Amino acid sequence: MHERLPGFRDFYPEDCAKRNFLFRVWSDAARCHGFHEYDIPTLEPLNLFTEKSGPEIVSQLFNFTDKGGREVALRPELTPSLARMVGAKVASLPKPLKWFNIAENFRYEKPQEGRLRSHYQLNCDIFGEPGPGADAELIATAIASIRSFGPTEKDFVVRLSDRTLWMLFLASLGHEGEAALGVLGVIDKLERLPREQALERLTPYFGDAREDFFAQVETILSLRDAPSLATFFLGHAPNADLRAKIEGRLAEWTTLLENLRAMGLGPFIRVDLGIVRGLAYYTGFVFEIFKLDADGTLSGRALAGGGRYDHLIGKLGFPETPAVGFGMGDVTMTQFLEERGCLPKMIEKPDVFVVLGGGEARTLGLAAVGALRSAGIRTEYPLREVGFGKQFRLAGQSGARLALIVGENEAARHQIRVKDLTSGGEVGIFASHAVEAIRAFLDEGIPPTDSPS
Ligand code: HAM
């Protein structure tokens, strides 16, 4: 017996209908915010990811050598490919550029709750605008991509953080470049690491001062608004140069939060410097979206994550171009929406079920099936000759609104009997007028008082 690979999913029709619903609402939200759809290849040169995504994703790549001897990988994310695509035409593309895509990504992770080896992501990205207005626009789009299904600020929260502020703080402690990125890597894991292990990982950077640093981190993680960020970070600025840089950054925080509040999105935002993001290319504001339990606590794995990555296009060899984007995953979103009762039951039903007699009747009935389908009316019929009793049972089970009956008597008179399967009402129509008549019955139904013709 054959089985699926671990971490992959089969989508039976009901799952597919759910997935399509998710994609439809996502793309409506993206378009409504002015994003245009693009697409990229599933398979890419391996070095696009080994050089640009960072070690965490590289350890999860599905990679192999193709028949032409090229080292290739299934895309684990879209961002490096998108950066290449935008970079190649950056001079001629209008800015700000707002693009979106919904696509499958592959990561060789340990399959677990909320994490699979194949998942779909909505990606929205904005290029060409360095200021916090673009970050606000992007976060607003991410919020709308969840709110459009029904959840409110009681159900989910955007944890908003800032790698720039972290880097300025670490610079004030003497850590820059690779060392600062190493410390951020530990902070990224803090929520999942026991204290002792976190301290151990901080030792190479802080030695005996690791406990003091850890205590400062705990304070930073408890800061929940712009004024407390200002008090802490300005209070720890060791010189005028860093103080000026921190002041400049705090002004951008104020603009970002004011933009979001003006759009009515304040209640969805939580200042939370615990988010630093695992991917290597992020440079400024970063965020992750989490579901909230009834008591307001964060729960589960991230529904979405993103942030600013102003140097990625430049690192690919193209002109430096400011960029900000997010990815929202279908696995955690579907679980979340189901849990909150926000996914309608997806049942695909025909409009019409055609009940057919044998011989001439079947020929006339099939002609009606063809005409109805050409007119866009969803039409089903039994693929082989079966008795009327069974066909009526099938018509009922199909969920169709109307049954069309083409028996030998009807065929002899070029007529079709139409039964409203909800009201029980029946009428006779001429086969030549079937399409117009069926359209009207689908809109208005057939009253139960009508007697069969
Ligand atoms: P990411 O945080 O790696 O970001 O993924 C974004 C979202 O995709 C996650 O929050 C999660 O919902 C979903 N996701 C990621 N990995 C898996 C998995 N193995 N199984 C199920 N769901 C998963 C990125 O990928 C960035 N490229 C996003 C971005 C776009 N940044 C800028 N633009």
Nearest Cα residue to atom 11 of ligand 1: 329
Nearest Cα residue to atom 2 of ligand 1: 305
> d(Cα 28, Cα 10) in Å, to the nearest integer?
25
Is residue 449's pLDDT more than 70?
A: no
Nearest Cα residue to atom 32 of ligand 1: 325
Q: Are 75 and 107 in contact (CB under 8 A)?
A: no
306 lines ligand 1 (CB under 6 A): yes
Q: Are 98 and 71 in contact (CB under 8 A)?
A: no
Pick the CATH number of 13-339 from 3.40.50.300, 3.30.930.10, 3.30.470.30, 3.40.1130.10: 3.30.930.10
* Alpha carbon of 301 to ligand 1 centroid (Å): 11
Q: Which residues pair with 285 in a beta bridge?
A: 162
For strands 402-406 and 352-356, give the pairing: parallel
Q: Which residues contact 432 (CB under 8 A, 6 or more apart)?
A: 414
The count of C-alpha atoms lying within 13 angstroms of the C-alpha of 136, restricted to the half-sphere facing its C-beta, is 18
Task: List the helix and strand counts (H, then E) for the chain.
Answer: 17, 16
Q: Decide: residue 382, CB within 10 A, 0-12 exposed, 13-18 middle, 19+ buried.
A: middle
- Mutate-to-test residue for ligand 1 from 119, 289, 301, highest number of ligand atoms within 8 A of CB: 119
Q: What pLDDT digit, counting tens, does each position of 367-420 carry?
A: 999 999 999 999 999 999 999 999 999 999 999 999 999 999 999 999 999 999
135 lines ligand 1 (CB under 6 A): no
Q: What pLDDT digit, counting tens, does each position of 24-63 carry?
A: 999 999 999 999 999 999 999 999 998 777 777 888 999 9
Mean pLDDT, range 154-173, rounded to an integer: 97
Q: What is the CA radius of gyration of the chain?
A: 29
For the question of whether the overall pTM of this predicted structure is more than 0.75, the answer is: yes
Domain range list for the chain: 13-339, 352-444
Sheet containing 71-74, strands listed edge to edge, beginning at the edge strand earlier in sequence:
43-45, 71-74, 63-65
303 lines ligand 1 (CB under 6 A): yes
CATH topology of domain 352-444: Rossmann fold (3.40.50)
Q: What b/e sequence results for 183-211 when a residue is b if at least 16 CB atoms lie within 10 Å of its CB, and e otherwise? A: bbbbbbebeeeeeeebbebbeebbeeebe
145 lines ligand 1 (CB under 6 A): no
329 lines ligand 1 (CB under 6 A): yes
Q: Quote the DSSP letter at residue 112.
A: B
- Mutate-to-test residue for ligand 1 from 77, 161, 321, highest number of ligand atoms within 8 A of CB: 77
54 lines ligand 1 (CB under 6 A): no
On the question of a common fold for 13-339 and 352-444, the answer reads: no
Count the residues in the chain: 453
Is residue 79's pLDDT more than 60?
A: yes
